[in-house]
Chains A and B, each alone.
Chain A
Amino acid sequence: MNEIVGIAYILGDDISTDDIVPSYTLTMRDPREMAQFTLKFIDPNFSNDITGKNIIIAGENFGTGSSREEAVNVFKILGIKAIIAKSFARIYYRNLINNGIPGITLNWDETLFSSGDRIKIALHDGIISNISKKKKITFTKLPVFITCILEEGGVLKKLLKNG
């Protein structure tokens, strides 16, 4: 899990779980169907636009709002490997980690990343490289407690292994 390579997709501040998974899709039984509605109110073509991109880079308070874990699951279904944000809402952050998706808190600006950039995250070293822009930036390494969950691929897998 140390090295994650992918293509960036940029999102703004205060993206709520209501934005990610609109309430009216919550009763859908098939997660794949639900994933087609991801961020529909922000960008009606999101589920197409995200094709080929797999690292979300967002602003402040990412995932604010309800506890709906669907807001993490849809990204998983769409192939997202990691989310970088200026800050995360609390429940959303737990849900990410519990599902084995690294959430990295980083204060970034437009000079650093744009959609379509090729990004490499070295999780254990605390370094993000923007290969396209030839830039490197360090972030505060995740606590060991968190990396242990990520290493196992999420909290349920960890529980299964360790009892």
Chain B
Amino acid sequence: MNLTLAEKILLNHSRIDDICPGEFIECEIDLIMVHEQLGGRIHVEFEKLGLTKVWDPEKIFFILDHWIPAPTISAAQMHQDARNFARKYQFIHNYSDQLNQGICHQVLPELGFARPGMLIVGSDSHTTTYGAFNCLSTGIGATDVSVVFATGKLWFKVPESYKIALNGEFKKGVMAKDFILQYIGDISTKGAIYKSLEFHAAESLSMDSRMTISNMAVETGAKFGIFLPDARLEKWLKFHTKESYNAMKPDENALYEKTYNYDLSEITPIVAKPSSPGNIEKIENVEGLEIDQAFLGSCTNGRMEDLRIAAKIIKGKSVNRNTRLIITPASKRIYQQAIEEGLIEIFINAGAVVTHSTCGACIGGHLGVLASDEICISSTNRNFKGRMGAPSSQVYLASPATVVASALKGKIADPREVL
């Protein structure tokens, strides 16, 4: 056989015996993640089907994270609808009342729900994040969620795969975010529409870094962004789950439509200018641009690795007087660990605002919305027009190291100079 990871996992979840890119198949879903943006509306779709129960209340992971606690009446209303729906259909893994959990894509793996070989879908485009754990995972819309709720199955078009080999290690001040921005810039935001990105990484690449890469795989248009399993993943799983799993590797002579090779030691700090994640620039060319706000957080970069480097840069120093720095840990667990390691104190002493774990500023929802013409450097994944606030506000995407280095100077700054 010559199957890629995506082909193998799709095949495992279907009833066919052979698989070929381009064909339409039906697959059984192992887990579905839903957050409030759909949870509130889905009942309209689902109830059209006239069903009284969901296919498997064990296999639904339900969480509120985008607007928590509700900042407006309309958000509160949406949450109420979502909670009512989850109660009515008796979801087992229902976190809609535990507002302190964090962002869906961080919480789900932390609680051991993302395990190798699984096929996971979610009501959010960054569901690709679980690819870091050797899961085949992707985002779907409300109607697809209704179909899964009703049947546990979903149609897929089998994607062609791109192999991306990652060798070497990042130099000081360079992070996984810089690599993925570079890759998006290299192949463009439409360079991998409908493709599966398969990352062959060295064991030295941390799980946090892999999550950042899988998270932003979708920014190339890709359907999946999956990593091969290795000892580092095994170790992570030991710590996070007791359940068994079926780690998958591609066949040795798997057929890839394209192959890319990156030496991570050659990557340098990258910034994506407004208003596309593919609009990349080397830090040298944007350095010195004055900023109003710096945001460190989101499902892309709100993890321990990110907070640790931020603390290293900012320890004993102060955020520039004309800039505000907002830090949002991606989950409660991360928040707690950051407290234990003394990072939160470092941030607060430096003048940063540390918020509870939520999507918050990333989606321009609350806790850091931008005013007209304001400029923000952000560790998030999208800088579309108006994404973080007013339509004339501008978002520059960068690594956590670059975000915090910039907050210190009040201008976009090269983190290699302050480390």
Chain A interface (Cβ < 8 Å from any Cβ of B): 14, 16, 18-19, 22-24, 26-29, 40-42, 60-61, 64-70, 72, 87-91, 94-95, 98-99, 143, 145, 154-156, 159-160
Flag whether B384 is at the interface (Cβ < 8 A): yes
A35 to chain B, nearest CB (A): 14
Using CB atoms, name the residue of chain A closest to B75.
A27
A162 to chain B, nearest CB (A): 11
Interchain residue pairs A-B with the least CB separation, the first 5: A69-B141, A27-B74, A95-B141, A98-B143, A69-B142
Residue from the list B78, B143, B189, B194 in contact with A99, Cβ < 8 A:
B143
Q: Please measure, in the bound complex, the distance between the C-alpha atom of A72 and the C-alpha atom of B365, giving whole angstroms.
A: 21
Instruction: Show 14 A/B contacts (Cβ-Cβ < 8 Å), sorted by A.
Output: A23-B364, A23-B365, A24-B386, A27-B67, A28-B74, A61-B221, A66-B139, A67-B141, A69-B143, A88-B193, A95-B141, A95-B142, A95-B144, A155-B144
Q: Which residues of B contact A22 (CB under 8 A)?
A: 386, 391
Asked if A143 contacts B45 (CB within 8 A), the reply is: no
Q: Which residues of A contact B74 (CB under 8 A)?
A: 27-29
| A68 and B190 in contact, given A18-B387, A27-B75, A156-B45 (Cβ under 8 angstroms) | no
Using CB atoms, name the residue of chain B closest to A40.
B391
Chain B interface (Cβ < 8 Å from any Cβ of A): 24, 37-38, 40-41, 45, 48-50, 67, 72, 74-75, 77-78, 81, 122-125, 127, 139-144, 146-147, 150-151, 155, 189-190, 193-194, 221-223, 276, 363-365, 382, 384-387, 391
| A155 and B387 in contact, given A60-B190, A61-B193, A66-B124 (Cβ under 8 angstroms) | no
Q: Which residues of B contact A145 (CB under 8 A)?
A: 24, 155
Residue from the list A61, A66, A159 in contact with B125, Cβ < 8 A:
A66
Using CB atoms, name the residue of chain A closest to B25.
A145
A103 to chain B, nearest CB (A): 13
Q: Which residues of A contact B41 (CB under 8 A)?
A: 70
| A90 and B194 in contact, given A16-B384, A18-B382, A67-B139 (Cβ under 8 angstroms) | yes
Asked if A27 contacts B387 (CB within 8 A), the reply is: no
Q: Which residues of B contact A155 (CB under 8 A)?
A: 143-144, 147, 155
Asked if B141 contacts A41 (CB within 8 A), the reply is: no
Using CB atoms, name the residue of chain B closest to A13.
B190
Residue from the list A29, A42, A64, A99 in contact with B221, Cβ < 8 A:
A64
| A65 and B125 in contact, given A26-B37, A159-B49, A160-B49 (Cβ under 8 angstroms) | yes
